[in-house]
Structure 1
Amino acid sequence: MDGDLARIQVISPISIVVPTYKERENIPLVIERVRQLRERDGLDAELIFMDDMSRDGSIEAVEASGHDWVRIVERTEDRGLSPAVIDGFRNARNPVLVCMDCDLSHPPEKIPQMVYALSSGQQFVIGSRYVPGGSTDDDWGFFRWLNSRVATLLARPLTSVKDPMSGFFALRRKDFDRAQELNPVGYKIALELIVKCGFENVGEVPIHFTDRIHGESKLTLREQLKYIKHLRRLYLFRFANAMYLLQFLVVGMSGVVVNMAMLTLLLALGATPKLAIAGGIIVSVVSNFLLNRRFTFSYARDRNPLGQFAGFVGASAIGMIVNYALSVYLIENVLPETRSSIYIASLLGISAGMLFNFLGNRYVVFRKRYIHK
């Protein structure tokens, strides 16, 4: 271990950031475990509790420790686990940053091994439950295990790390400082940093994950729904054009349903095929605009909606012309004169106009320079 400690000292001292909310009973236990770590392994580590206005005696518990290397920061704005970690890293004084939970599910004794992995060339190191040697408490239960595995699987296109859901990790301050557009939603800050910092060399140190003894878990259904929202943001960051196109196509498919419904209604009311096709296009353009503004290009929805709608119609004009012209041509020159031919021609016209619509709206109406920062 002496050789390992020598290498650890190269990049120490360390700042350990612990986000908290109503963790008064656990705070003294965390302080004691870190104190033992400092004395046994000789780590120069500060301990920072980032508290979201618990008002439960957490501040007093930290002050009672009497250690000058322990402090607590009470946060009054933008409360939440991930923002607390980011604020903690920005408040940290040391060149190596470590994040861990306050419920002692993460063993502080693994920090020296994680820091050693950083000194060995890793960009980011995770305390992992799912690598050989890692484990969880036996009473986790099937559904909790399944929830964790599904969440990991959903993140697989973003990283090959086996446990990206872990809240126990270490990185260098200089790497954190180059993170782009940090805006995590929910509690999966490690995944946010892996993606936004562009980490490719990620190490995983096996840990035993222990269930909390004091307090209540903060993992609610609401937090899990936030994780889905967070994943969407990260997919858009990593695979921007592909994700915008996919969302545009999904909205476009809803527009097809609207188009076909209006086409059927107009035909039932006795409209000519040409008028029915035109009516379906017009109504679907309105529905597509509303959905694309709300979901696909949500970053630009703070703009004037009337101006955007005019731009949307203008940018989609070529697609609409292609759609209408191809549909009419197929009805009059290619397909037999049957009712089903009208639907076939309309669907083929929609497909042909879709690409024109996407390019015009992605790079003209909702282009990225409209983002409000």
Structure 2
Amino acid sequence: MQDSLIETGPADAQPLAEIRLNTGLSIIIPTYKEVENIPHILNRLDALRQNYNLTLEVLFMDDDSQDGSVEAVAASGFDWARMIVRTKNRGLSWAVIDGFSAAQYPILVCMDCDLSHPPEKIPQMVLGLATDQQMMVGSRYVPGASTDDDWGFMRWLNSVVATMLARPLTSVRDPMSGFFAMRKADFDRAQDLNPVGYKIALELIVKCAFGNVGEVPIHFTDRVHGESKLTLKEQLKYIQHLRRLYLYRFANAMYLAQFLVVGASGVVVNLLVLSLLQLIGLPDALCLAGGIGVSVVTNFMLNRRFTFSYARDRNIAAQFAGFVGASAIGVAVSFGVSLILRESAFEGMSYGLQLAALCGIAAGMIFNYLGNRYFVFRKTHIRK
């Protein structure tokens, strides 16, 4: 992906005509228990509105805080600001999506309510959209950007690791940013939006297939009022979100990788069962068959739950029958190769049976994957 850094100088030095800000702005602010911050951010946005004679609306998308936030917006007296209380499908990402859907103006801006994002940078972000940029991000990690001095090492490390994990999806230097601007027309064309957690910018970059994303340097300020919503639970949701995005962007590679991971667990199960049966004194053929049989069951359950999770709503009995049928060639190959190698290449060797079983598993794996990916768990069988 191509990225660019938009350098425009101080926002308050840019006349409106130079910014080419001739359309309205919809500023979406997701909130939950941010009553103390609402008056402050509204005052800063009002100053920006007056300085540039902006046409704007501010939509606070509140997850039913019941902390006086509704009254705070009403008490402001600004007719361009309103509160939308959400009681269903709550969460930061979906709050932003709902706000973008409800927005009436062509330019969409997302920002936090905790004053960590400087509203004064919005004109520079709109300037980027006036060129060939599809999204403009308020970035903490480009030249000229900074964060408050009391960030601590663990918070910095958390941000760096999260950014690195997103690198295969985008080369944007701060894809974790919650401060960004884009065109509503691009948002309206987005398909398959399915975010979880709080990193909605990354979701939109991937699902909107943005190739040109610009970054504006900002100073990221720690919140003064209220409490941070970044909990361990939200960080775990980010991992889940990344998995979804990797599946969306690199579907075949990800399905294969997950299938192989499940297959590796099946190897462990296979060898454990095989070894136990061997200790009992059963014939080699029965030991091999027992290991394969138990691993088939565990592989089916794990693949249904994780690898091909989109198919979990289908009848499990019929699906297992299909899984066994589609895997039959792979099982036969695995069993046959294992027996042949046990009686030839590994005959008389210590753990020869186990080595033969490993080779058989590897030979059958490709047949198992193709059969399950394109027959048992075909997406065309799933109604969206």
Does TM-score exceed 0.5, indicating one fold? yes
Preserved CA contact (<8 Å) 2:109 2:181: yes
Q: How far has the Cα of 1:330 moved from its partner?
A: 1.4
For 2:78 and 2:24, the matched residues in 1 are separated by: 16
For 1:89 and 1:81, the matched residues in 2 are separated by: 12
Return 5+ residue gaps in structure 2 as ranges. 1-11
Compared with structure 1, are the counterparts of its residues 250 and 179 closer, same or farther at alpha carbon in structure 2 (3 Å cutoff)? same
Aligned pairs for 1:145-184 within 5 A: 145-184=156-195
- TM-score with structure 1 length normalisation? 0.98
Q: How far has the Cα of 1:6 moved from its partner?
A: 2.1
For 2:75 and 2:14, the matched residues in 1 are separated by: 35
Preserved CA contact (<8 Å) 2:303 2:309: yes
Q: How far has the Cα of 1:11 moved from its partner?
A: 5.2
Q: Percent identity?
A: 68
Aligned residues: 373
For 1:7 and 1:179, the matched residues in 2 are separated by: 30
Q: How far has the Cα of 1:10 moved from its partner?
A: 5.1
Give the 3-state SS of the residue equivalent to 2:64 in structure 1.
coil
Preserved CA contact (<8 Å) 1:12 1:96: yes
For 2:21 and 2:40, the matched residues in 1 are separated by: 28
Aligned to 1:295: 306
Compared with structure 1, are the counterparts of its residues 198 and 257 closer, same or farther at alpha carbon in structure 2 (3 Å cutoff)? same
**Is 1:56 matched up with 2:56?**
no
For 1:228 and 1:319, the matched residues in 2 are separated by: 32
Runs of 4+ displaced beyond 4 Å: 1-4
Aligned pairs for 1:126-275 within 5 A: 126-275=137-286
For 1:45 and 1:33, the matched residues in 2 are separated by: 13
Q: How far has the Cα of 1:307 moved from its partner?
A: 0.9
Letter in 1 for 2:328: A
Give the 3-state SS of the residue equivalent to 2:343 in structure 1.
helix
Letter in 2 for 1:271: L
**Is 1:81 matched up with 2:95?**
no
Aligned to 1:309: 320
Q: How far has the Cα of 1:41 moved from its partner?
A: 1.6
Q: How far has the Cα of 1:66 moved from its partner?
A: 1.6
Please say which of residues 336-345 and 309-318 is displaced more in the overlay: 336-345
Q: How far has the Cα of 1:180 moved from its partner?
A: 1.7
Aligned to 1:332: 343
Letter in 2 for 1:100: M
- TM-score with structure 2 length normalisation? 0.95
Preserved CA contact (<8 Å) 2:334 2:357: yes
For 1:143 and 1:331, the matched residues in 2 are separated by: 52
For 1:4 and 1:319, the matched residues in 2 are separated by: 69
What's the CA shift string for 1:325-363, capped at 9, x where partnerless?
Answer: 111111223332334221111100000000110111111
Return 5+ residue gaps in structure 1 as ranges. none
Give the 3-state SS of the residue equivalent to 1:94 in structure 2.
coil
Aligned to 1:125: 136
For 1:204 and 1:91, the matched residues in 2 are separated by: 26
Aligned-residue RMSD, C-alpha? 1.3
Aligned to 1:30: 41
Preserved CA contact (<8 Å) 1:11 1:96: no
